[in-house]
């Protein structure tokens, strides 16, 4: 047996803190942010999105050109110091037009997110929380809405309204919120049986308090993730509509209409199509990378 000093066998006089917590304190969002920061792809997506947004907001202001003025002296120019992205067949500056298009794409995405947050979250939340007959009726109603093809709604709307941003947004508001409503309803149905909600009820909490303090904060993570997938989807739909001529009206440009215009002259001036396509792809890619990263960061099942 090894030699040990006798003093070591004195009982410790102590007040060892048995309830000590060794890990640092982090709340849900801090923890998620910490995890997101470690995800290089998601952070790349986030930084690209911030840069693109800044360009979309400020680039058209700083440039001396605007998106509409035609200049037949400089049609179809290659990228140069004067025109960073060159010009199109009407001599309009593509740099400005592309950032204008980005602005419109991002605006459509933002609008879709707002509609989802207001209509989708409320509809799903109410349907799930009230349950029973109300839930049944609300679910059937949303299924009917969702069964109308989006393209049909858009084409019908364009017959009555002008093609443009507002028409696309209206078309989206009619059907686009249903997946979010379903997601939130599912979450709420599950959460309202959780013991912490029951505990709040036994303490005498009213429904409004339960929704604001318990249900919404706990569904927020999943809502944020859903939003990051809704936004690129809406951007894609707008681009698609503009590409087939149902979207933005010239001289206003969106990324979709720019790609469409560029496609016509692709064989002679490939940059007219490639540049808007690149920006467009970058937006979608960044949103998807960020969305995947957020899902990993916010998913409670990944927490330890």
Partner 1 sequence: MPDNILEVRGLKKHFDLGKGALKAVDGLNFEIRRGETLGLVGESGCGKSTVGKTLIRLYEPTEGEIVFNGKSVSKMNAKEQREFTRNMQMVFQDPYASLNPRMTVGDIIAEGIDIHGLYKGKKRKERVLQLLADVGLNPEHAGRFPHEFSGGQRQRIGIARALAIEPQFIIADEPISALDVSVQAQVINLFQNLQKQHGLTYLFIAHDLAMVKHISDRIGVMYLGKLVELTTSEELYANPLHPYTQSLLSAIPIPDPDVERTRERIILEGEVPSPLNPPSGCPFRTRCPHAMQVCAETMPPMKEIKPGHITACHLY
Partner 2 sequence: MSEKKQPTKILDVKDLKVSFKTYAGEIQAVRGVSFDLYKGEVLAIVGESGCGKSVTAQTIMRLVPSPPSFIKEGSITFDNKSDITKLSERAMEKIRGSEMGMIFQDPMTSLNPTMTIGKQIAEGLIKHQGLNKEQAAERSVEMLRLVGISNPEGRIKQYPHELSGGMRQRIMIAIALACSPKLLIADEPTTALDVTIQAQIIELMQKLQEKTETAIILITHDLGVVADMAQRVVVMYAGKIVEEGSVDDIFYNPKHPYTWGLLKSVPRLDLEHKSDLVPIPGTPPDLFAPPKGCAFAARCPYAMDICLQQDPDKFEVTNQHKAACWLLHPDAPAVEPPVGKGGKVHA
Interface with partner 1 (CB under 8 A): 17, 19, 21, 23, 25-28, 194-196, 198-205, 209, 213-214, 217-218, 300, 303
> From partner 1, partner 2, none, which one binds at residue 14 (CB under 5 to 8 Å depending on kind)?
partner 2
Which pair of tokens denotes residue 117? Answer: 């947050």
CB 100 within 8 A of CB 256: no
With respect to partner 2, which residue has the nearer C-beta, 20 or 267? 20
- Mask of contacts with partner 2, 3-32, x by CB under 8 A? -x-xxxxxxx-x-xxxx--xx---------
Q: How many CA atoms lie within 13 A of 265 on its CB side?
A: 16
With respect to partner 1, which residue has the nearer C-beta, 119 or 130? 130
CB 267 within 8 A of CB 274: no
Q: Tell which phi-psi region holds residue 245, choosing left (phi > 0), alpha (psi between -120 and 50) or beta.
A: left
Provide, rounded to whole angstroms, the least separation between the CB of residue 2 and partner 2. 8
Tell me the C-alpha distance between 45 and 43, whole Å: 5
Binding partner 2 (rule: CB under 8 A), the pick from 32, 35, 93, 271 is 35
> From partner 2, partner 1, none, which one binds at residue 4 (CB under 5 to 8 Å depending on kind)?
partner 2
DSSP 174-240: HHTTHHHHHHHHHHHHHHTTSHHHHHHHHTT--HHHIIIIIIHHHHHHHHHHHHHHHHHHHHHHHHH
CB 189 within 8 A of CB 166: no
Closest to 303 in 3D by CA, of 118, 21, 32 = 32
> From partner 1, partner 2, none, which one binds at residue 12 (CB under 5 to 8 Å depending on kind)?
partner 2
- Work out whether 206 is an interface residue with partner 2 (CB under 8 A): no
Provide, rounded to whole angstroms, the least separation between the CB of residue 15 and partner 1. 12
Binding partner 2 (rule: CB under 8 A), the pick from 30, 37, 38, 300 is 38
> From partner 1, partner 2, none, which one binds at residue 194 (CB under 5 to 8 Å depending on kind)?
partner 1
> From partner 1, partner 2, none, which one binds at residue 204 (CB under 5 to 8 Å depending on kind)?
partner 1
Tell me the C-alpha distance between 76 and 162, whole Å: 30
> From partner 2, partner 1, none, which one binds at residue 8 (CB under 5 to 8 Å depending on kind)?
partner 2
With respect to partner 2, which residue has the nearer C-beta, 8 or 81? 8
Provide, rounded to whole angstroms, the least separation between the CB of residue 37 and partner 2. 11
The count of other CB atoms within 10 Å of the CB of residue 276 is 28
* Residue 83 DSSP label: S
Judged by the rule CB under 8 A, the positions of this chain that interact with partner 2 are: 1, 4, 6-12, 14, 16-19, 22-23, 35, 38, 304
């Amino acid at each position: 047996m090894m030699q040990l000093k006798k003093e070591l066998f004195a009982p410790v006089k102590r007040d060892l803190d048995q309830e000590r917590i060794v890990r640092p304190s982090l709340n849900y969002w801090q923890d998620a942010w910490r995890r997101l920061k470690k995800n290089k792809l998601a952070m790349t997506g986030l930084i690209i999105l911030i840069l693109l947004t800044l360009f979309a907001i400020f680039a058209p202001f700083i440039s001396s050109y605007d998106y509409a003025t035609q200049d037949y002296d400089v049609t179809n120019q290659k990228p140069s110091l004067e025109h960073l992205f060159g010009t199109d067949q009407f001599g309009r500056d593509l740099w400005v037009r592309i950032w204008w298009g980005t602005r419109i794409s991002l605006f459509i995405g933002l609008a879709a997110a707002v509609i989802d947050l207001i209509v989708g979250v409320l509809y799903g939340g109410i349907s799930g929380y009230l349950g029973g007959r109300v839930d049944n009726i609300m679910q059937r109603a949303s299924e009917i809405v969702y069964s109308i093809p989006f393209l049909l709604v858009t084409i019908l709307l364009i017959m009555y309204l002008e093609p443009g941003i507002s028409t696309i947004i209206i078309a989206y508001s009619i059907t686009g919120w249903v997946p979010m409503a379903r997601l939130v309803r599912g979450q709420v149905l599950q959460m309202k049986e959780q013991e912490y909600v029951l505990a709040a009820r036994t303490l005498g909490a009213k429904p409004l308090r339960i929704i604001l303090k318990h249900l919404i904060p706990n569904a927020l993570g999943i809502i944020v993730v859903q939003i990051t997938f809704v936004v690129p989807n809406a951007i894609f739909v707008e681009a698609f509509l503009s590409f087939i001529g149902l979207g933005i009206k010239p001289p206003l440009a969106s990324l979709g209409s720019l790609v469409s215009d560029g496609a016509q002259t692709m064989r002679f001036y490939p940059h007219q199509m490639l540049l808007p396509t690149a920006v467009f792809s970058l937006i979608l890619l960044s949103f998807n990378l960020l969305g995947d990263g957020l899902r990993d960061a916010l998913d409670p099942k990944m927490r330890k």
